[in-house]
Structures are given as C-alpha cells and as structure tokens.
A and B are shown apart, each in its own frame.
Chain A
Amino acid sequence: MSNIELYKEMILKNSQSPLNKNKILNCTHTSKGNNPLCGDSVELFANIKDKKICEISFLGDGCAISIASASVLTQILKGKTIKQSYELIQMFNQMIESNIPFQEIKYLNNKHFELIKSFESISNFPMRRKCATLSWLTLDSALNKKKNIKLT
C-alpha cells in the first residue's frame, strides 16, 4: 500500500479545517496528551452531565493524522454516554492495531462510519499509529480525571 493512501480526503479535510478545535472554559473533564517522540500534542475538553458527554472539543498541534483524528473524535463522541465512550476508545484503538475492521465499531451512524473508515488503513503504518490514537487515549485519561498522558 502506498504511503499517500494515508492522506484520504476525509483526513485532509479534518486536518485542514478541523471541527470543535477550541477550548471549553470551566469544563468538567480535561486532559493533555503528547507524543514526546514526534512532538504531537493535544488537549481535550469535555462537559459531562448525567453521565453523558454534552460538549467536547480539543486544541492541538501536530501532524494531519493527529489533528484529523481529534476532530473526528469530537464529532463522534458528542452525545455518547461515558460507558459508550470507553467502548469507542477501545474499539478505535483495536481498529488502529488492525484487530477489528471499522464495520465492527458500535454506536456509529452512517456519517460517523464515513469519518472513521478513513483511519482504518493507518493500521498498515506502524510509525503513524500513535498519531491517530493520541487524542483517543487523551480522552480516556480525561474521563479518568488524569491530567497528563505521554505515549511512549
């Protein structure tokens, strides 16, 4: 597979014009993540009420894959319960580790499937997997009320 297949339209669009790239002031959950090896960094903000994510956003500096992934995360996770969020984080990671196909990811509507399937091929590029998972693991630590994570 050619490397440039990583740069699907959906990924380019979400990296060049990411959605929900802003800071939520006084949010209930937040965490920072970074990948010391490549310098990608992301900060997740979420407002959780009645065990549901009602608002979610991010700030970040990094490659196209990491920014697009954070943008897609915020679009998919908004409105999900905490339990569903944990499951989605786990399933996204499994997809990136090429353990499950994107079709097996639960709780997605058609638009979400379109968003998430562009990331499936990243499993073929081990050097770039962490770019895709950084924001998802940062959300996990925000839900767990941890302040910082580092991917190693």
Chain B
Amino acid sequence: MNIKDIKNSFPIFKKKINGKKLVYLDSANSSQKPQTVIDSLNKFYSEDFANVGRGIYTLAANASEQYENTRQELKKFINASDKSEIIFTKNSTESLNLVANCYGAKFINEGDEIISTELEHHANYVPWHFLRKNKGAIIKFIPIDKKGNLKLDELEKLITNRTKIISLTHMSNVTGTIIDIKKVVEIAKKYQIPVCVDGTQGAAHLDLNLKDLDCDFYAFSGHKMYGPTGVGILNIKYKWIDVFEPYIGGGGMIDNVSKDNVDYAKGAWKFEAGTMPTAEIIALNKSIEFINSIGKKNIIKHEADLTTKTLKELKSIDAVELVGDPANRGGVFSFNIKDIHSHDVSTIFDSEGIAVRGGHHCCQILHDKLNLNSSVRVSFGVYNDENDINILLKGIEKCQSIFKK
C-alpha cells in the first residue's frame, strides 16, 4: 500500500492550514473524504437526481437502485445476515436513540436495569438516561481500570433478573480500548439479554463480522468511514424489527394507510420515514469501495503501526501523560502535556497545521473517572503517515517552549 497515493486521493490535503501542510489527526471525530466520494455527490445531483422509492420514471428507478445498492454493499461490508436488517438513520447517535427509544418503550420499566460502561460516548449514555429519567430505569456501569481496560469480569456480577439490555462501545473514542464484544454477547446469551453495540469507532477501524459478533444492534455512521455526513446505520436483528414500533412515522415507512388504520412496511424500511439523505447514502457506497480497494486488514495494520510508533515516542517524553494505555487498542489515544490545558495545546498545534481534538470528547464520565478535566486526542486514519507523527512531536515541543516557566 502506497500511503502517498492514498493521501493524494483526498483533495483536502492540498490545502494549507495557517500556511502549513494539514496534519489531520481527528479521524475519530470525522474522517476526510476521498475524491470518489465527493464526485459521487456531485454526479448524483448533476446527472442522476430524483427522489427514491416513489416515482416509476427512469431517474427515480435508477436513484432507488443506487440507494439500495449501498444497503447491499453495507451488508457485505459488515457481513450482516440480510440487507433488510440494515436501517439508514441520520448518524450513530440517532441509531442508538432508535434502539433506546423503541426497545425502552416496550421492555424497560421502573426499576429495570441497563448495563453500560465507563468508556461510553455521550451518544450511548444520554439516550439511556432518558429512560432513567422518564421511566425510572437504573443504569449500571462496567468499570475500567487505570489503563482504560474494561473489567469485563465484573459484567456477570452486575447482571440481575432486572437487567434488560447491555449497551456498550466496540472501541473507545478516547483511550482506543477495544471491547471483546463476542465475549459480552456470549455472557449476555446465558441470561437472554440483548446487546447493543456503539460501533461508531469500530466500523472504519476494526474488522467487522456481524454474523460472528452476533449482537442484537450495531450502530455506526458513514462520515467516520470516509463517507459523507448525514448517514447513520443501524444493523438490527430481524426479530426486533417486527417487535419494535416505528421510531418516526410518515411517507415511505408504510404498507397501507386508511382512515382507521396504518400498516407499516416490513424490514428496515419500517424505520426510514420521509426523504432520506439520498445523495449521501449513494456516495457512501464509494467510501465502502475505497476501504475495500485498500483492504480493511491493511488499514488496520497501518493504523496500528502508526499508533505503536507514536505511543513509544510519547512515552519517552516526561511531560506527556497518557490517558490510559489499554492492552487491546485501536488507533486512538489521548494525552495531556503537564501544566498545559488541552485547548491551549490544540490552538498551538493548529498553528502548525495539526488538527486534533481538545476537551472531554463527549466522554465526561470517563474523564471524571480518571480525574481529568480534559485531554488532547490523536486519532489516525488511512491517510496518516510517519511525517504526521514527526510534526506532532514537534508540535509538543512547541507547546513546551511557549509554556516554559
């Protein structure tokens, strides 16, 4: 794999930031887009545009076909059981809200328990909090150790006869911790508890095989896998589609409507009401193509190599304090430079063209647990290279020299 060619396929890297080359280290937030994805958006609006699932004229039929092609390619991409189990949403957050909302409405009542973890993004906490607030549910957290490893041994101790769902991340967006979802599902099955996985970080950076993971729900978004914003995905076991009431109602999600009744569509379409982000869903197919053309395994290895190298360097700098150091990890990690706030670091990095995220990264529970106010996060994508690491290290030196007392 030639990294230079990969970088060239992303037009944004031609741009200078504050007169410097862009060193984009914020892919866990959102990834940059290859030219093929951008071209697809343009092409759809210029040559192919029509709304999907409604008209029978040529343009509408073609648009519908392209739209459904993405669903088909997603099915292969994550090795899902059936394309009717792949629901398009607005983003991962909406996918998780859909699960909490639809599952909660039917199965969670006062005193019922939801098991989550201390690693979660707010997107996999706040929707469950709604059930705590509105229905009196209880949220329990599988703890982490100081290194950010999840103490999975604690899971079974937390399970009671009131446990209704386990909802947890596949990979932390702060520490990079990868959770052994297969093991979670294995334990959950013993007690017949469904498992919901926030795969937002997992989708672009881990080898996905949903049939093998066998969780009930897997939520992720297109924009973190080099695709457009506005598209989320929820892989859902079919049995839940029939059991759940629709999340939102309107056109497109119905079978038959009369003055005294509404029959809903079958399959994923039951949850897709109104005009969807059509151009974006069609362009998402190009991002899947892009990932497949490089090979997921090659991407994983490339990001792992960069992570290992960077962490080795960071550990040799006295003033750098890592936020956890989990054993099984992906290409995301966070740190602080002693006595310099993460936002000041981000601002100084920006002057060198380095894009990182400072703050709590929507994970306040995790930061509280580790006694931190905030941190600087670095996350890799397929386009990063060793030169990016060198510039990052120089950026750290620059922060230290500005803030030297």
Question: In the complex, A61 Cα to B341 Cα: how many Å?
Answer: 9
Q: Which residues of A contact B (CB under 8 A)?
A: 2-4, 6-7, 12, 16, 37-41, 61-65, 125, 127-128, 131
- Please name the residue on chain B nearest to A16 by beta carbon: B405
CB distance from A68 to the nearest CB of B (A): 10
- Please name the residue on chain B nearest to A2 by beta carbon: B351
Question: In the complex, A131 Cα to B346 Cα: how many Å?
Answer: 14
Interface check B390, CB cutoff 8 A: no
CB distance from B24 to the nearest CB of A (A): 17
Say yes or no: A37-B359 contact (C-beta < 8 A), given A4-B402, A12-B402, A63-B341.
yes
Say yes or no: A4-B343 contact (C-beta < 8 A), given A16-B405, A37-B359.
no
Say yes or no: A7-B402 contact (C-beta < 8 A), given A2-B351, A63-B344, A65-B344.
yes
Contact B341 A7 (CB under 8 A): no
- Please name the residue on chain B nearest to A13 by beta carbon: B405
Beyond the given pairs A4-B351, A38-B343, A39-B367, 8 more chain A to chain B contacts, judged by CB atoms under 8 angstroms and listed by A's residue number, are A4-B402, A7-B402, A38-B374, A39-B360, A62-B373, A64-B341, A125-B347, A131-B343
Contact B18 A64 (CB under 8 A): no
Residues of chain A with a CB closer than 8 A to B360's CB? 39
Question: In the complex, A4 Cα to B348 Cα: how many Å?
Answer: 6
Residues of chain A with a CB closer than 8 A to B358's CB? 38
Residues of chain B with a CB closer than 8 A to A65's CB? 343-344
Residues of chain B with a CB closer than 8 A to A131's CB? 343
Picked from B18, B351, B374, the residue with its CB within 8 Å of the CB of A39 is B374
Residues of chain B with a CB closer than 8 A to A2's CB? 18, 351
Interface check B247, CB cutoff 8 A: no
Residues of chain A with a CB closer than 8 A to B405's CB? 16
- Please name the residue on chain B nearest to A62 by beta carbon: B341
Contact B18 A7 (CB under 8 A): no
Contact B373 A64 (CB under 8 A): no
Pairs A–B under 8 Å by Cβ, sample size 17: A4-B351, A6-B347, A7-B344, A7-B403, A16-B339, A16-B403, A37-B359, A38-B358, A38-B374, A39-B364, A40-B343, A41-B373, A63-B343, A63-B344, A64-B403, A65-B344, A131-B343
